[in-house]
Structure 1
Amino acid sequence: MKASLHSAQDAAVPLPADFEAWLDWLATQRRASPLTLKAYRVGLQALLRMADGRPVAELESQDVRRFVARLHGEGLQGRSIARHLSTWRGLYRWLIRHRGLRANPVLGVRPPKTASTLPRVLSPDQAAALLEPAAENLLETRDIAMFELFYSSGLRVSELAGLDIEGGLDLAEAMVTVRGKRNRNRSVPVGSRAVCALRAWLAVRGQLAPAGEPALFVTRSGGRLSISGIANRLGQRARALGLSVHVHPHMLRHSFASHLLQSSGDLRAVQELLGHASIRSTQIYTHLDFQHLAKVYDATHPRAKK
């Protein structure tokens, strides 16, 4: 509760010109995504609140460590604090290079450790229960096409929302090309069921989308469906079908990766399909795979049964 309260307070803090200049540099020179820039802005606003009027050029390492302790005391988790520290570290690097600042007080400061949590995934049966019921109306035809593509290709929700009718989707080749983090393009196969669902949606899309609308997935009023709109529709479908878990967009991406790794055992291939820059980000799915194997062992091995 305290963390969310302070987040709302931070959002109202205006940023100094140097902070805005750094964000603009990230957007133009590093091609940071809007979501990344939004996260950085939140981190910068938190830094200003922690500094309480002191110029950031005067802050020292002990100040940053005190800020970390305060954030942790407010209920912010280690992963969120780590994101803030990364933001602050990047800001100071830029200030040293472009504004002549002498030292980076964030260097060497680490976030508090938090217990690692594995991503929640749907079982193959739950995924089938979510995707297999036939559409009963126009919006459900759209939704099934979205969720089939989501699960088939392991897209990020921002990548799904950003797809256009031209340029990204090639049903003849059963491939989709998306622009991911840091504006990197990657091409991912599209499964046969997703291809069928997308063809069904494209056949009726014109009933919602006006001429000239580029978005592949549109709202009932014809505009591009937003990230939050996708999340809401996915949650509604899961509840309507009686799934016993809270289904959110990233769960479909996690499920794609986990199920693919269970079937293939090819971690490098999963890394490429997910668009992870580092194999470390993909390795979490090996833990999920081990959990699956452990359950199979407990259920089937004669010396594991009670």
Structure 2
Amino acid sequence: MNESAIPLPNSLQRPLERFYEYLRSEKGLSLHTQRNYKQQLETMAQHLAHLGIKDWSQVDAGWVRQLASKGMRDGMKASSLATRLSSLRSFFDFLILRGEMSANPAKGVSAPRKKRPLPKNLDVDEVGQLLEVNEDDPLSVRDRAMMELMYGAGLRLAEMVSVNVKDVGLSSGELRVVGKGDKERKVPFSGMAAEWVAKWLKVRASLANPDEPALFVSKLGVRISHRNVQKRMAEWGQKQSVASHISPHKLRHSFATHVLESSNNLRAVQELLGHENISTTQIYTHLDFQHLAEVYDQAHPRARKKGNN
């Protein structure tokens, strides 16, 4: 429920007015940011006044956390809550600058991270439907090879685009890729991914410029762009009548999900994806809870049902 506005005591209002003038005259912030800061600070000042706070010096980290909690209860987005806390930190820095406060109680309070929505993975049947590309023109062979490799090796889009012909080890079943932070790793690829990369290498010369090192090239004979890959995969999704929108990231996510569900080996999937921290892999992928429950029921000695011993 919204609190009705009440007149703020001068001890709360005047420092705010001085801060707004400081933002206008010295900080050079955009009008949009100035308005956002003012709106957030006025809202927080009203809440504090309702709770009996009469001076900004009374506000400690506990009060700041309460202001953040109220924002969350009111349904604020993470980005808006971050702006609220940012405005408060800037205001207290201003009061410290003027000698009106000795420490910034908002410094150690951070907004919850904005959750990044994960793409829904394709199920195995949808992947099969997508990859039933039987056209034998060079562009179709290239596109199927790219999709087979994205799904077969779990590559990031940037990793796949940057692969050169010399990085492909068809006989060894290894692919050299350069991931985030210019970290090099080798990933295994075999089966349909290796088969279609080999098919593409046989026809690649019909498109690629003679001195082009890239594995995958565009019609212009140079390294294919990120945007071109995204566009082609989306088009193939429509052409193959796949209900889900197809993107390179969705194929990588599907690779991770399917391997993890089949193997239950989170550490191996972490290595395959090139994640530095396993926590990233835990967020990035998801397991079928029912599958986990069945494993638990069968494996845990205190969970086994009588008669299954």
**Equivalent position of 2:180 in the other structure:** 181
RMSD, aligned α-carbons: 3.7
Q: CA deviation at 1:250?
A: 0.4
| 1:54-93 aligned within 5 A | 66=37, 78=78
Unaligned runs of 5+ in 2: 1-22, 42-70, 86-102, 296-309
**Equivalent position of 1:146 in the other structure:** 146
Q: Give a deviation string over 1:172-200, Cα, whole Å, max 9, x none.
A: 10111111111111111002111110111
Aligned residue type for 1:289 = L
Change (3 A) 1:109 1:171: farther
Q: CA deviation at 1:247?
A: 1.1
**Equivalent position of 1:289 in the other structure:** 287
What SS class does the counterpart of residue 289 from structure 1 fall into?
Answer: coil
**Equivalent position of 1:162 in the other structure:** 162
Q: CA deviation at 1:223?
A: 1.1
**Equivalent position of 2:261 in the other structure:** 262
Change (3 A) 1:52 1:294: farther
Change (3 A) 1:122 1:173: same
Structure 1 Cα separation of the partners of residues 137 and 270 of structure 2: 36
CA contact (8 A) 1:163 1:216 kept: yes
Aligned residue type for 1:142 = R
CA contact (8 A) 1:231 1:249 kept: yes
TM-score, normalised relative to structure 1: 0.61
Aligned residue type for 1:212 = D
Structure 1 Cα separation of the partners of residues 106 and 214 of structure 2: 42
**Equivalent position of 1:194 in the other structure:** 193
**Equivalent position of 1:95 in the other structure:** none
Structure 2 Cα separation of the partners of residues 52 and 176 of structure 1: 56
Change (3 A) 1:187 1:239: same
Q: Give a deviation string over 1:249-283, Cα, whole Å, max 9, x none.
A: 10011000000001100000000110111111111
Aligned residue type for 1:240 = K
CA contact (8 A) 2:159 2:178 kept: yes
CA contact (8 A) 1:261 1:285 kept: no
What SS class does the counterpart of residue 202 from structure 1 fall into?
Answer: helix
Aligned residue type for 1:206 = A
Most deviating of 133-142 and 229-238: 133-142
Q: Give a deviation string over 1:138-186, Cα, whole Å, max 9, x none.
A: 10100011111110110000000111112x2111101111111111111
Unaligned runs of 5+ in 1: 1-50, 86-102, 298-306
Aligned residue type for 1:119 = P
Sequence identity of aligned pairs in percent?
Answer: 38
TM-score, normalised relative to structure 2: 0.61
**Equivalent position of 2:127 in the other structure:** 127
What SS class does the counterpart of residue 178 from structure 1 fall into?
Answer: strand
Structure 2 Cα separation of the partners of residues 243 and 130 of structure 1: 6
